[in-house]
Structure 1
Amino acid sequence: MFRRRPPLPPFPPGSLLVGGAARDWLRGVSPKDYDWAVPDPAGAARAMADALGGSAFALDEERGYWRVHLPDEDHHAAPHHDFVPLPADVTEDLLRRDFTVNALALTGDRKILDPAGGRADLKARRLRMVGAANLRADPLRAWRAARLEVTLGFRLEADTEQVMREVAAELAHGALKRPAAERVRDEVQALLRHPDAAHGVKRLEDLGLLALTLPELREGIGLQQGGFHHLDVFGHGLEALHQLLARQPDAPLPLRWAALLHDVGKPRSHTVDPETGRTHFYGHDKLGAALATQMLGRLKLPAGDIRHVARLVEAHMVPLPAGEKEARRFVHRRRDLLPDLLWVMLADREAARGPSSSAASRHAYAAAMGRVLAALEDRPAPPRPLLTGADVMALLGLSPGPRVGEVLRALNEAVALGEVTDGVGARMFVENWNAQNAGQPQRPAE
């Protein structure tokens, strides 16, 4: 049974509440966003903005699409109200929609318009198409079906699922035009935000959509690993995402992506030792970072998010420290990835329960993570630099160049480890380090 229906904002004159907002209200869920069909979108938007203290702006002034944002401390969580022109034939408009549960409208006096039988499907928790032609008219609706299955907790009706598979096949063969990458990204990320995101990714595969979205991820299907792993590479990635969200339900999207893609480089780095028969994935971390960059770039994610995901993927195999000093070094070198890196590593480990895994090994892993967390808690911010680049150049008689940066990295790490504590010690360290490393080639920064 659905919960008691929540209160609704005042209806603009002559308006209908349509689509997902009407659906959610009927389910007893407060709509996150409101879609209004009104005689005068611009006037209704401005009036609501004035009444509720929000801001109104045109999404598409030519077509009469307007939006109102309401104030909220979290801009991304703030509800918005969209206004579109009231269609001449409301029933015809509703019957052009994707699924029956979205082909609903509500009047100001709470009369329900339901030309496609959506209320019955709501009660049955069933996701049923209004018509196959509607799905082919906008193939993005195939991705939406997978997302709604997860976020609503509904199940695709059999005929609708069959059409979803046909749409995916037609997209793959070029018989249908693929949706814009940004629209696919938005559906996939809405799915990833759900606590059961791993199941949603599996449904993308079941429906033939993963091959159109993240084909590199599919390369791990059936690729067995052994050792610590009890799942194939693809299943392990899904389980890592599941393990992450079980422990960190509010994980940001880049962290979710990193958990899902952390082993995406394994299929292309897979080798088998001819003498021992053992499986190896040498370099899969670096290859995975490159692949993650390509995959998320295709989906048009923000550049900063892509870099963060790629760096997490590349770093997920770094050894955890065996002692307190090593823990401080670990924090110093990877501070900007923490604590996200630890979450990815923990999700990876908890998703691996093959024959080599044991309670003792998991305990040792947890202890090593504890050392890193203790070091991070002890020094939550990097220590204040004791010398500048200009100081180093003056002290050593150097000109600007890579050597100055190398000296500063060594000094700053020594400070982070507690080996240098003041300016006098910093100058002595720099002079000694430079003498010991004279003529040595520059070492890359970690």
Structure 2
Amino acid sequence: MSSMFRRRPPLPPFPPGGLLVGGAARDWQRGVAPKDYDWAVPDPAQAARAMADALGGSAFPLDEERGYWRVHLDGEAHHDFVPLPADVNDDLLRRDFTVNALALTEAKKILDPSGGQVDLKARRLRMVSAANLRADPLRAWRAARLELTLDFRLEPETERVVREVAADLADGTLKMPAAERIRDELHALLLHPDAAHGLKRLEDLGLLALTLPELREGMGLQQGGFHHLDVFEHGLEALHQLLARLPDAPLPLRWAALLHDVGKPRSHTVDPETGRTHFYGHDKLGAALTTQMLTRLKLSAGEIKHIAGLVEAHMVPLPAGEKEARRFVHRRRDLLPDLLWVMLADREAARGPSSSEASRHAYAVAMGRVLEAMEGQPAPPRPLLTGADVMALLDIPPGPRIGEVLRALNEAVALGEVMDEVEARAFVVGDASRKDDM
């Protein structure tokens, strides 16, 4: 018997008459502690409340009409409860893949109507049926995600049907799943240490074109200079380089590394005299495309703003001196330290024939200046004047000019050029005089 079946983790107490089903039963069978638990029980509400009372969690309905409940336990996986079907085997046979069509009884008996245990031993991802995959096309994305996260391989006929589903989605024969569901599968894939490989697999299966078509525009587009990969492969390599250095990188940072050059294909020009390739404005265009793509995938507004900000700022030159480093930190504090990680991933993903140890050393020194500036001023200095103060000093009404003056003043404070309120007032009056003389 395979070693994956020998050391099975302990399980929480079973709800009365309940079954552990789906991925949780699969993981337990593999000897892996489930991340989340799915229970089929006679009375979901009663079972959820009983578990919450016994283990000190909170129970709440997910879908009262269908009788779905969830329990959150502090610092642990959540537990979902659904009604026990009249025919458990029939219910399991409606699932996506055989390794998910498993149920476990309290006596540790495995219900396996589709041969999932054999596939587990073979590390094989096999569909229960083609009709099941077509009934919920999201399962095509799940196939790619599970292949990566379980380190299994799609069985050939299952892979053929996944490709068929992708083609039918592309031509409108099948309806696209909700964007939020695709996003969740994509995020589960992006959180894997080898996320770049998972994205290549999406492309291979015909799913990337349905998910991130803008990213594919970089395929075959060579860049020259420091770059040794086309734009598409460079984005994947930047993600790989990020995760090699920061395995716990949060999702927004992973997105930014992947998408940092997404604006290059649409900004691509070639100088007719020199033949040199240019991508003028690709940072700003990339930020706009990033916003468009991630809005389509229903990420939160705050996440989108941060990711797009990183994409737009990734080409900003690193500072050459201490004062410039303080200015760099002041102007981009809300993007740091994430911006440095994106810039480093971009740099390390390039490494073309024009790269050198000397240039990499210079880059590291410049990054060190920024880190020192961040350590020296971990939070923005306290504002010395308010908008009302500026209006009174300059005798002007509310308007955009107030914000401009305050931004200039706050930067001067951050650079150590203005130290107190007296100097702040003098700076504001002097700045206004300088502008009047221009």
Q: How would you bin the TM-score normalised by the shorter chain?
A: over 0.9
Shift of 1:422: 1.5
| Alignment map for 1:32-431 (pairs within 5 Å) | 32-72=35-75, 78-431=76-429
Counterpart residue number, 1:27: 30
Shift of 1:439: 6.5
Counterpart residue number, 1:75: none
Could you tell me how far apart the structure 2 residues matched to 1:190 and 1:232 are? 26
The superposition leaves residues 366-424 of structure 1 with CA deviations (integer Å, 9 ceiling, x where unpaired) of 11011000000100001111222222222222222222221111111111111111222
CA RMSD of aligned residues (A): 1.1
User: What SS does the corresponding residue of 2:332 show, helix, strand or coil?
Assistant: helix
The superposition leaves residues 61-112 of structure 1 with CA deviations (integer Å, 9 ceiling, x where unpaired) of 222211111123xxxxx41111111111111111111111101110000011
Shift of 1:283: 0.4
Q: What residue identity is the alignment partner of 1:30?
A: A
Counterpart residue number, 2:19: 16
The superposition leaves residues 315-358 of structure 1 with CA deviations (integer Å, 9 ceiling, x where unpaired) of 10000000001000000101111001111111100100111111
Runs of 4+ off more than 3 Å:
none
User: What SS does the corresponding residue of 1:11 show, helix, strand or coil?
Assistant: coil
Could you tell me how far apart the structure 2 residues matched to 1:309 and 1:374 are? 24
Could you tell me how far apart the structure 1 residues matched to 2:124 and 2:357 are? 42
User: What SS does the corresponding residue of 2:82 show, helix, strand or coil?
Assistant: strand
The superposition leaves residues 180-227 of structure 1 with CA deviations (integer Å, 9 ceiling, x where unpaired) of 111101100111111111111111111100110110000001111111
User: What SS does the corresponding residue of 1:37 show, helix, strand or coil?
Assistant: strand
Q: Which runs of 5+ in 2 are unaligned?
A: none
Could you tell me how far apart the structure 2 residues matched to 1:40 and 1:267 are? 55
User: What SS does the corresponding residue of 2:327 show, helix, strand or coil?
Assistant: helix
Could you tell me how far apart the structure 1 residues matched to 2:84 and 2:158 are? 29
Contact 1:99 1:129 in 2 (8 A): yes
Could you tell me how far apart the structure 1 residues matched to 2:218 and 2:402 are? 44
In percent, how many aligned pairs have the same letter? Answer: 84
Could you tell me how far apart the structure 2 residues matched to 1:33 and 1:217 are? 32
Could you tell me how far apart the structure 1 residues matched to 2:148 and 2:193 are? 9
User: What SS does the corresponding residue of 1:437 show, helix, strand or coil?
Assistant: helix
User: What SS does the corresponding residue of 2:350 show, helix, strand or coil?
Assistant: coil
Contact 1:226 1:355 in 2 (8 A): no
Q: What residue identity is the alignment partner of 2:85?
A: P
User: What SS does the corresponding residue of 2:128 show, helix, strand or coil?
Assistant: coil
Q: What residue identity is the alignment partner of 1:286?
A: K
The superposition leaves residues 17-63 of structure 1 with CA deviations (integer Å, 9 ceiling, x where unpaired) of 01000011111111111111111112111111111111112212222
Could you tell me how far apart the structure 2 residues matched to 1:396 and 1:39 are? 74
Could you tell me how far apart the structure 2 residues matched to 1:404 and 1:102 are? 61
The superposition leaves residues 207-260 of structure 1 with CA deviations (integer Å, 9 ceiling, x where unpaired) of 100110110000001111111111110000001111111111111111111111
The superposition leaves residues 289-308 of structure 1 with CA deviations (integer Å, 9 ceiling, x where unpaired) of 00000100111110110111
User: What SS does the corresponding residue of 2:108 show, helix, strand or coil?
Assistant: coil
Q: What residue identity is the alignment partner of 2:27?
A: D
Shift of 1:149: 1.1
Q: What residue identity is the alignment partner of 1:65?
A: Y
User: What SS does the corresponding residue of 1:12 show, helix, strand or coil?
Assistant: coil
The superposition leaves residues 123-156 of structure 1 with CA deviations (integer Å, 9 ceiling, x where unpaired) of 1111111111110010000000111111111111
Please say which of residues 424-433 and 277-286 is displaced more in the overlay.
424-433
Q: What residue identity is the alignment partner of 2:26?
A: R
